[in-house]
Structure 1
């Protein structure tokens, strides 16, 4: 890997991009937030007890959320790779393939979470398991230990697959392909990626602590950090593998 690549370099580059294009980045983020908030607020009155209309509204919200997320990645890539070119509307609109890939992974993640929750609820109906959970809750140290283990596992999983939106936008990858590429890209950079991920989490927490208002600045900045990290990792990977991008194999 490229030896000059460092977390400090990522932060400095990300800050320069954010500072130079502050109005564009914040403007896009605020606009996307307002549109999504209005859409979700409206959906609360349109969604009834289910039915076809509710499904359509939820699907539209999912599409808009995917467009806003992927659009920000496209905007950031444009600011990095084409900094001297004007930004056009089409520069930040993801393709339908991008959107469908992102939605597929979003639904897949939701399915996994729902499945684990369902399994847990079913296990609670078993007297032995329910008694074990009650005893566990009465042992603070055990609960804290489980929380730490769960956090570490979540961080490791997130770290290996956190760049899938970048591959969807930058390489026009499919859902499964983007996951495999993200895993390949992060294979030999675990320590630096963990550091970047912890910094990102720290900035998001700071944003929420600032009465929630700070998230308007910290959230876009953290996404710029992720895109810059991705770009540097890809450049290093290409140098090491004779011009080859991370494969989906």
Structure 2
């Protein structure tokens, strides 16, 4: 669909409204995710031996898989909340069925970005933008890793520049969150994840304007 556009003000206004509506629950989920997935990774990277041992490599792999697993649950919860669907803390953990596809897609996605960085960065940005929405196709359609990546690529074909501006905003907000004693990320990451979900739902609904009418702030 040509001439699609993202209204960042309306997008974040709607997302912030949902964030406030479910404030205590969102902060609780983000804190759980932060403690179980982020802090162990940071601690390991800080104190990992200079010369990796077999044990440290195994631990690194386990922590990476755990972080990926919980990230899928977190994305699902934010996706459900923007539509006011009922969610529970258990939704952070009960994602065994789609996880394999998500794990494979995430691996391919990160390999693509890494290769893109070696190709003078711009290809990495392009890959990061065009394949951004693969988790949602896996969660909603139960797509395979390859199918989800392909669908993300095609659904974003008219929004590369708009998504670059959105991505810049997301990165900036989350950097500010990290710099605020590392605690600010508890507030910025759910907000930006909700905003990403709104873009996906608007695109999936073939909306020319993003957010679509269903996701405009009241």
Tell me, yes or no, whether TM beats 0.5. Answer: yes
- 1:29-58 CA distances to partner (integer Å, 9 max, x unpaired)? 11111112565558979xx821xx666544
Aligned counterparts of 1:223 and 1:161: Cα–Cα separation in 2: 15
- 1:72-102 CA distances to partner (integer Å, 9 max, x unpaired)? 1111122123x163x2344343532421122
RMSD after superposition = 3.5
- 1:208-243 CA distances to partner (integer Å, 9 max, x unpaired)? 3323332221122111111111111111269xxxxx
Aligned counterparts of 1:31 and 1:17: Cα–Cα separation in 2: 19
Deviation at residue 103 of structure 1 after TM alignment: 1.8
Question: Match for residue 224 of structure 1?
Answer: 194
User: Contact (CA 8 Å) 2:177, 2:185: kept in 1 or not?
Assistant: yes
Aligned match for 2:182, one of 191, 198, 212? 212
Question: Match for residue 24 of structure 1?
Answer: 25
Q: What SS does the corresponding residue of 1:173 show, helix, strand or coil?
A: coil
Aligned residues: 204
Aligned counterparts of 1:104 and 1:19: Cα–Cα separation in 2: 34
Aligned counterparts of 1:74 and 1:7: Cα–Cα separation in 2: 22
Question: Match for residue 152 of structure 1?
Answer: 122
Aligned counterparts of 1:159 and 1:188: Cα–Cα separation in 2: 11
Distance 1:154 1:56, change over 3 A: closer
Deviation at residue 16 of structure 1 after TM alignment: 0.8
Which of structures 1 and 2 has the larger relative contact order (alpha carbons within 8 angstroms, sep 6+)?
2
Q: What are the residue-to-residue correspondences of 1:96-175 with 2, within 5 Å?
A: 96-109=96-109, 150-175=120-145
Question: Match for residue 12 of structure 1?
Answer: 13
Farther off after superposition, 24-33 or 177-186? 24-33
Deviation at residue 6 of structure 1 after TM alignment: 2.8
Q: TM-score, normalised by structure 2?
A: 0.76
